[in-house]
Chain A
Amino acid sequence: MKQTDIFQAMYQHATIGIILVQPDGKIAKANPFAEGLFGYEKGALDGKNVDILVPDAFRASHHQHRTKYHEHPTERVMGEGLELYAQRKDGSTFPVEISLGHIQHDGQNLAIAYINNITHRKQVMQEVAEGKSRLTSIIETAVDGIITINRRGIVESINPAAAKLFGYDPDEVIGNNIKMLMPEPDKSGHDQYLHNYQTTRKRKIIGIGREVTGLKKDGETFPFHLSVSEVKLKDQIIYTGILHDLSDKKIAEEKLRRYAKALERSNRELRDFAYVSSHDLQEPLRKIRAFGDRLQAKEGDKLSDKGKDYLDRMLNAATRMQRLITDLLHFSRVNTRANPFQLVDLKEVLEGVLSDLEIAIEKSHATIKVGELPSIEADETQMRQLFQNLISNAIKFQQPGTAPVIEISGQVQQRNAHLSSTPGDRIATIRIKDNGIGFDTKYADKIFQIFQRLEGKKYEGSGIGLAICKRIANRHGGDINVESTPGEGTTFLISLATKQLIEQ
């Protein structure tokens, strides 16, 4: 191939638009790529004014530029020019990059324009720029603090949230060692720590995160959670720290802790008071009864009938008081003598209780209908006590002339309106329904209070049973409610958490 043929081929097949322009602005020659670029047929550009390739808006200024260029032609390489646009035959425009040269041909000064369509490149660059600004905006507006340091610990960037956290302007921190934000002993240890990490790769915080203490500009310290990640860039390593202020959380935690402690203390005092007082009250009472018994047994004959009656009444009152004290003790023991929670099959517990109550059930001709009952985490003894109290109540408060029918069933359901997932989320609801005498529901709250009784001496009891039931339900993360209609019956609804929190 001859050299001219080679040049000809290079021109014909160039993947860049090449256009030769005469001083008068007419196109002397455009290569096929240029024709394609602008959407013209082969040869269609020859002789046309080059201005037709310039968008209408730029056409006037282009004319001036071109004239100037022909007066002082210089080389201009790609990428140095302005951001330019070109116009296709169909009127659409596209961004181009143009480099210029000039040659002498037939005594004419011809300008050569090499034209690249940079639509795609521009798009990519724009995406990159957008991505970068988006990332910057995210970092700048983040609620958590973000700080980057280089491998020597020098702060390269700090976002407004982090700067505010420490009470500095970003400029006061950038370029300084990150140690300025640390109290001792971290301050002194940090260089060594960075060095250790870089030599041993042993992680203490990088890639893990933990609670640390920060030092504010005003000298105050505060807790925050710091997670650090290592970022390997092309030519360096930087560490990015994300900081989450824990001050409020810590204060709230501390408040809660103190409150819980105070509550625990007052609870304990109350428990101790109930226990000690009932325990200590028993002593003198026991003696009142014992000496009363002695008096009755040994000296009773010597008393008048009236005297005997007084003594009887005194001893009866002492017996009742004894019962109250014993009940009070039992009540206080729901919490003081509690057993640990374990998985309990309530059906099994109920069967045990029913067998204990066999005599009472037979005597009252009661019918007991037992439905499904779940297994839950509970104090088995207290579950037994709960069923025992409620079922004996159902038997006790029967309608005269009607045999008791007692229905017991249970189901597990999701707790309504729960805010967060806690172990008590699922609750077991146990229903104990009877056809007994019932009561007016305006007393519904009263019956669960200690020593409150609705019925007189016709029915035995001191009014402790339901109070104990309520306490047991409460201890098991639940409660007890009642529905009743006088003359029709009563239904107790007991809710119990299926999983118990560990007690303090």
Chain B
Amino acid sequence: MKSKLFTILIAEDDEEDRMLTEDAIEETDLKCHLQFVEDGEQAMEYLLNEGKFKDKNKFPIPRLILLDLNMPKKDGREVLAEIRKHEALRTIPVIALTTSDAPEDISLMYELGVNSYITKPVSFKGMIKAMNGLKQFWFEIVSLPK
């Protein structure tokens, strides 16, 4: 599967949330590949092309990561900390997308180097709005290292 489209990696343990995120991104008409992982360990395997994610063509380094905080095995905080420590991965923009609006979560994630923190909007309209914002900012406005 060869494509010049950007890849967004979405780490989300909840199947319905994966559906809704996918739906919302679809609504924004953002042309990209969505890759889903279901927990923090899978997220790291994907990024390091390990385990079932060995195929670098099929599982390219993403342009953006949407990271849930509370996931089994390895949570979003740990994943973020590992990404920021990793030579090749540290520059990838990571957006926290979580139900938590706890101030301690928010400040910890920024301390760990998250690029922005989004509390999952309660309505689907809000979700589309958030994804639109992401699309505009991260895919149309900013320049990122190649």
Q: Quick check: A293 and B124 within 8 Å, CB to CB?
A: yes
Q: Is A122 an interface residue (CB 8 A)?
A: no
A280 to B113, CA, bound (A): 27
Kindly provide the distance from the CB of A36 to the nearest chain B CB, expressed in whole angstroms.
Answer: 100
Closest to B127 in A: A290
Q: Quick check: A294 and B23 within 8 Å, CB to CB?
A: yes
Residues of A within 8 A of B16 (CB): 287, 290-291
Chain B 7-29 interface 0/1 with A at a Cβ cutoff of 8 Å (1 = within): 00000000011001001000000
Residues of A within 8 A of B23 (CB): 294
Closest to B120 in A: A286
Residues of A within 8 A of B99 (CB): 279, 282-283, 286
Q: Is B122 an interface residue (CB 8 A)?
A: yes
Residues of A within 8 A of B125 (CB): 293
Kindly provide the distance from the CB of A159 to the nearest chain B CB, expressed in whole angstroms.
Answer: 60
Q: Quick check: A294 and B122 within 8 Å, CB to CB?
A: no
Chain A residues touching B, range? 10 to 19
A493 to B21, CA, bound (A): 48
Taking chain B's interface residues, is the majority helix, strand, or loop, or is none over half, making it mixed?
A: helix
Kindly provide the distance from the CB of A269 to the nearest chain B CB, expressed in whole angstroms.
Answer: 19
Q: Is B143 an interface residue (CB 8 A)?
A: no
Q: Is A322 an interface residue (CB 8 A)?
A: yes
Q: Quick check: B20 and A322 within 8 Å, CB to CB?
A: no
Chain B 57-70 interface 0/1 with A at a Cβ cutoff of 8 Å (1 = within): 00000000000000
Chain A 468-501 interface 0/1 with B at a Cβ cutoff of 8 Å (1 = within): 0000000000000000000000000000000000
Q: Quick check: A293 and B123 within 8 Å, CB to CB?
A: yes
* Residues 164-187 of A contacting B (Cβ, < 8 Å): none
**Which residues of A are at the interface with B, using a C-beta cutoff of 8 A?**
279, 282-283, 285-287, 289-291, 293-294, 297, 322, 337
Offer 19 A-B interface pairs, CB within 8 angstroms, sorted by A. Answer: A282-B99, A282-B122, A283-B99, A286-B122, A287-B16, A287-B17, A287-B20, A289-B123, A290-B16, A290-B20, A290-B123, A290-B127, A291-B16, A291-B20, A293-B124, A294-B23, A294-B124, A322-B122, A337-B103
